[in-house]
Amino acid sequence: MPESRVPRRRRYLVCEPRHFAVQYAINPWMRPDQHVDVSLAQTQWQTLISAYRAHGHTVETVEPVPGLPDMVFAANAAVVVDGRVFGSLFHSPERRPESHPYDTWFKSAGYDVYRPESVSEGEGDFVPAGRWVLAGTGFRTTREAHREAQEFFGVPVIGLTLVDPYFYHLDTALFVLDDHNIAYYPEAFSPGSREVLARLYPDAVIATREDAMTFGLNSVSDGHHVFISPGATALAEELTRHGYVPVPVDLSEFHKAGGGIKCCTQEIR
């Protein structure tokens, strides 16, 4: 029998997709000629926010800025550990202006914000995981940013190399279930990184490529409930077998920009 899982109340920062669009291509999912239904995106996003609140979580919002269509992907703007904010320096020039409104929000909320000198894309590539921070590189965030984050937070930062362009951010290939375990798709990582993950998490939930391609690993867990893409059916079954409760939320309109549930969700720790 799976062990009992206990949810923990979370605080999330999000940004309404008022200006969401696919206006450029900076990952394999994006095609500027593809129609985006903004009304549907708004509805799907609101369903996610309602699901968070229904499960007892606090949701706060950043005001969207015209001309920043990817600002809805709040996770990329920063990573927060123990109340310390490590900001972003986006790889793509199109997204760099997003850093300012998020920095402003954190500062107005009383946080000091560290501005990285190296390319760093927030929780897209930095995943706090209990005693350490898992950190992706290969497509966006650099190894130099990993070193900066370790010096700033004073906690071990474990670098993992991504090798499949469809999983260009760590949060598309892996998510934290609780302080002790993760779910991930091994083939998204280099051989050495797969070995590291296998050593750190021998009981990890392993996802298939099919589930990863439906953004099943771009999920959010509160330690018991897992807010997950409804297309990731095999992964949902595996999570259930491990004692977690999948909460399907359809954010398929955001998949057109290479994002999903976690991309839209910044956790304030």
**Average pLDDT along the chain, 269 residues, taken 10 residues at a time:** 80 98 98 95 98 98 98 98 98 98 98 97 98 98 98 98 98 97 98 98 98 98 98 98 98 98 98
Is 263 in the active site? yes
Q: Which of 146, 255, 263, 264 is catalytic?
A: 263
**Predicted local confidence at residue 205, as pLDDT:** 98
Taking the CA atoms of residue 136, residue 29, residue 178 and residue 189 in that order, the dihedral angle to the nearest 10 degrees is -40
Q: Which of 57, 91, 169, 225 is catalytic?
A: 169
Is 169 in the active site? yes
**Predicted local confidence at residue 4, as pLDDT:** 72
**Predicted local confidence at residue 138, as pLDDT:** 98
